[in-house]
Structure 1
Amino acid sequence: MTTVELKMPKMGESISEATILNWLKKVGDSVEEDETILEVATDKVDSEVPSPCTGVIAKILFEPNEVVEIGKVIALIHADASQVATEVKEEENTSISKKDTPKRDIVKSNNNAVKVGVVQQKLVVNPDAFLSPLIISIAQKENLSLEEVQSIPGTGVDGRIRKSDVMQYLKHRKYPLQSIPQAPQVQKSTYAAPQIPFTEGKDRIVEMDRMRKMIADHMVYSKHTSPHVTSYIEVDVTNIVNWRNKVKIEFQEKHGEKLTYTPIFVEAVAKAIQEYPMINVSVDDKNIVVRKDINIGMATALPSGNLIVPVVRNADEKNLLGLAKNVNHLANSARNNALKPDEIGGSTFTISNVGTFGSLMGTPIINQPEVAILALGIIKKRPEVITTEKGDEIAIRSMMYLSLSFDHRVVDGFLGGSFLRKVGDELEAFDSNREI
């Protein structure tokens, strides 16, 4: 009989661990190759893990809600499906159900406890420590300072700080931390948070799901991190509307792809970024990281009502057909909850089409660690004064508002306004005779 190890799969760039959400199979159950065995989650997305072979679940090594390092063995599968399921189940339930003797080695408690004690006394800070959004969220919830989080020894790849490292640190944290200077006491606010009335039998309480909690934490973190400024312009997109109406049926028949406005918007943004590359950056303390790749994130609503940002990678290297294929694939995958981890990470600039919901304009929140985000309002027809060879005339035009929120730490009004105007110019200069 061959025993196959099921390992925690790689979930995308920069992800070193994942949380087990739910086992869909139990010890003794038969599985088919590529059949989903469990659901896991990272700080970016929930994913399903398929079976690498046909067989019987022989051993489950980690329980739901446990954090497991990428590449770690999480279960054993007997590839010989003729093994009697009952025998396996009885054998393994005896050894695994004992909560007092789990055979796990994600965190070596004794060693880490010693390390934590040393850190709390000496507070050896690593200013280059990478902090994922999940780690930052935990730090905010537990009131950990940046210096304190950076002092935690990381057990991940290249010393990266994992969730389990922070949890272990909190377990052994001592007060007060001797090496952290005491901040002067600030008088507490006398403002009392308003009580939320609740009427039994009429009102109801809905607990946030995991993704909604992450979105909430990420939005609050962004507003606390970046001083947001929003600029607006109005754009005449009549040429785009007329061209799309003229060619969309032919485009789909020729290429097998729907032609929406999104790839046109992505194309215009990519061209504008090429002219103003300092919009395509991130802030790392006192340094500015200028991104070479132009990866455009598209804020997309999920069927659950939550929000996710799939990414069009290297948007500047794709033509309109390539962008349409990429956009349609990502949008369909989002609607079917089938996005892969590497399809939602690594964006360098984000767009949000608030016009989809009928909004005239929006004031979007920056998708950290980016420094700008563009909101696209609804396209509306209205009478406008235009200049023609005969002079000024009133004509029916398709108009749209663009709003750019940017991080005023590194993007000033000149750069933000110039970039926004460039996007508008690209849209207004669209060739209505363009070939498909």
Structure 2
Amino acid sequence: MAKVEVVMPQMGESITTGTITKWHKNVGEVIELDAILLEISTDKVESEIPSPIHGKIVELLYPEGATVDVGRPIAIIEDDLNAAVSAPSAKPAAAAAPAKAEAAPAQTTAPAAAPVAAPAQVEDEGGFRFYTPLVKAMAKDAGIALSELKNISGSGAGGRVNKSDLEAYIANRGKGGAAVSAPAAKPAAAAPAPTAAPSGVSETRPSGRVEIVAMDNMRKAIAKNMVASKQTSPHVNSIDEIDMTNLVKARNKIKDEFKKREGINLTFSHFVLYAIVQALKEHPLVNASIEGDNIVIKKDIHLGCAVAVPGNGLVVPVIKNAGDLNLTGIARQLDILANKARTKKLTMDDLSGGTYTFTNNGSFGTLIATPVILQPQVGIFCTGVIKKRVMVMEDDAIAIRHMMYGTHTYDHRLIDGELGSKFLASVKHHLETMNPENLI
């Protein structure tokens, strides 16, 4: 008989946690190899996680809604189907907890790779009782010894003490209350309210005609990473206008033939991505990251491209080795990644390893935007909408041109204004002088 720990996978570079959104199996059920065990979400992607073996579910260690460190065990599967399961066969209390429950702060105090030995099984005078890591961590934080914990009435499967039981007990502790099983108000000591106002800021409840909507897991993770990026990198923006008139005319000539040949709509994003690649070759320091006091210059160009997923925020799949691709190759790879993003089939490899990122706010009609750098990269390029404008040409003639604003946002720790502006000028030059017919 062997037991296999299923751990929280890392769903992308710089991702340190994942949130369990749904369990597809209960304790005691048999699961096939590669059958879906659970769904998780991060700020970059929502994904279905398959079972690594064919076996019987012994433990589900966290409830739906819990946020867990990458690398920590989240389930235990026994691959000997003839052996007795060492836990109740009904769905564990963790799954019975409210879906909005969050992991207690104590979950993150142990190293991510810490092994979990006999994770839910504790011996007391009456034999074995089962406690999830979350319950044991909460009990430890509240100073509740095993001798006290075993006397708490459990409302979970097989009389198991779940998170709500323990919260209720802690809330009534010291008030003369006996062991209880009905949930009580969540005490501040067990898990600080995520909406608590920062120190020194008055907290007021909104009044009048308002609607309060809880952030979903992806939005909370995005918010956390955006704040972290701003705290890490001093952002500087260089902005210039780019004359896209020649590209607009060239695209109109070849887009139908390209669609017929490749089955892909030829978009302006493909041209911008190609121009960024050429600029990165000319200015390799922009294709770098900072590690402590060291500058890590990446020799390969792995170009991230932000893709909006309706109702699910933004993901940034990565075109690997974009420096080796022509315009058609970039278009093919972006089409594959965009389709995978919209159907939630992106893999960890699709989302990791980016060295520079492009985002197109012009697709939403935005004129200019100043994006946030995707750590640990040191730059991101953003384009606005292409609009017809009356321009004064070099010979003082007045002409109607297709104009677009481009923004190069960069980390001022590494990239000074001179290099940042030269990189922008390089992208502008390639877009204004590009002949697509020679590139596809």
Q: Same fold (TM over 0.5)?
A: yes
Aligned pair in 2 of structure 1 residues 62, 256: CA closer, same or farther (>3 Å)? same
Equivalent-residue separation in structure 1 for 2:265 and 2:339 (angstroms):
11
Query: Aligned pair 1:49/2:49, yes or no?
Result: yes
Superposed, 1:163-182 pairs within 5 Å as none
Query: Which runs of no fewer than 5 residues in structure 2 stay unpaired?
Result: 95-102, 115-132, 142-197
Equivalent-residue separation in structure 2 for 1:230 and 1:69 (angstroms):
34
Report deviation, 1:27.
Answer: 3.1
Name which of structure 1's ranges 348-357 and 253-262 shifts more when overlaid on structure 2.
253-262
Among candidates 82, 85, 88, match of residue 93 of structure 1: 88
Equivalent-residue separation in structure 1 for 2:384 and 2:271 (angstroms):
14
Equivalent-residue separation in structure 2 for 1:217 and 1:9 (angstroms):
19
Aligned to 1:348: 355
Are the aligned partners of 1:295 and 1:349 in contact in 2 as well (CA < 8 Å)? Answer: yes
Superposed, 1:392-407 pairs within 5 Å as 392-407=396-411
SS of alignment partner, residue 93 of structure 1: coil
The aligned amino acid for 1:197 is P
Aligned to 1:62: 61
Are the aligned partners of 1:242 and 1:432 in contact in 2 as well (CA < 8 Å)? Answer: no
Among candidates 414, 421, 434, match of residue 417 of structure 1: 421
The aligned amino acid for 1:93 is P
The aligned amino acid for 1:353 is N
Are the aligned partners of 1:16 and 1:156 in contact in 2 as well (CA < 8 Å)? Answer: no
The aligned amino acid for 1:418 is K
Cα deviations across residues 129-181 of structure 1 (Å, max 9, x unaligned)? xxxxxxxxx9xx99xxxxxx9xx885639xxxxxx9xx98xx78xxxxxxxxx
Superposed, 1:12-161 pairs within 5 Å as 20-29=20-29, 31=31, 34-41=34-41, 44-51=44-51, 57-64=56-63, 65=66, 67=68, 70=71, 74-76=75-77, 92-93=87-88, 97=92, 154=111, 156=113
Among candidates 245, 264, 268, match of residue 261 of structure 1: 268
The aligned amino acid for 2:311 is S
Equivalent-residue separation in structure 2 for 1:96 and 1:36 (angstroms):
17
Equivalent-residue separation in structure 1 for 2:425 and 2:42 (angstroms):
37
Cα deviations across residues 256-283 of structure 1 (Å, max 9, x unaligned)? 2222222211111011011111111212
Report deviation, 1:251.
Answer: 0.9
Among candidates 335, 338, 346, match of residue 345 of structure 2: 338
Aligned to 2:252: 245
Equivalent-residue separation in structure 1 for 2:295 and 2:438 (angstroms):
38
Among candidates 201, 216, 219, match of residue 212 of structure 1: 219
Report deviation, 1:62.
Answer: 2.3
Aligned pair in 2 of structure 1 residues 19, 434: CA closer, same or farther (>3 Å)? same
Aligned to 2:207: 198
Cα deviations across residues 54-110 of structure 1 (Å, max 9, x unaligned)? x77442352333747649683436697xx9xxx989x742698589xxxxxxxxxxx
Equivalent-residue separation in structure 1 for 2:32 and 2:93 (angstroms):
28
Report deviation, 1:31.
Answer: 4.9
Name which of structure 1's ranges 306-315 and 7-16 shifts more when overlaid on structure 2.
7-16
Report deviation, 1:375.
Answer: 1.1
SS of alignment partner, residue 435 of structure 2: coil
Aligned to 1:229: 236
Are the aligned partners of 2:30 and 2:57 in contact in 1 as well (CA < 8 Å)? Answer: no
Equivalent-residue separation in structure 2 for 1:363 and 1:196 (angstroms):
32
Report deviation, 1:217.
Answer: 1.3
SS of alignment partner, residue 88 of structure 2: helix
Cα deviations across residues 342-373 of structure 1 (Å, max 9, x unaligned)? 21122111111110110101111111211111
Query: Aligned pair 1:302/2:309, yes or no?
Result: yes
Report deviation, 1:18.
Answer: 5.3
SS of alignment partner, residue 213 of structure 1: helix
TM-score calculated relative to the size of structure 2: 0.68
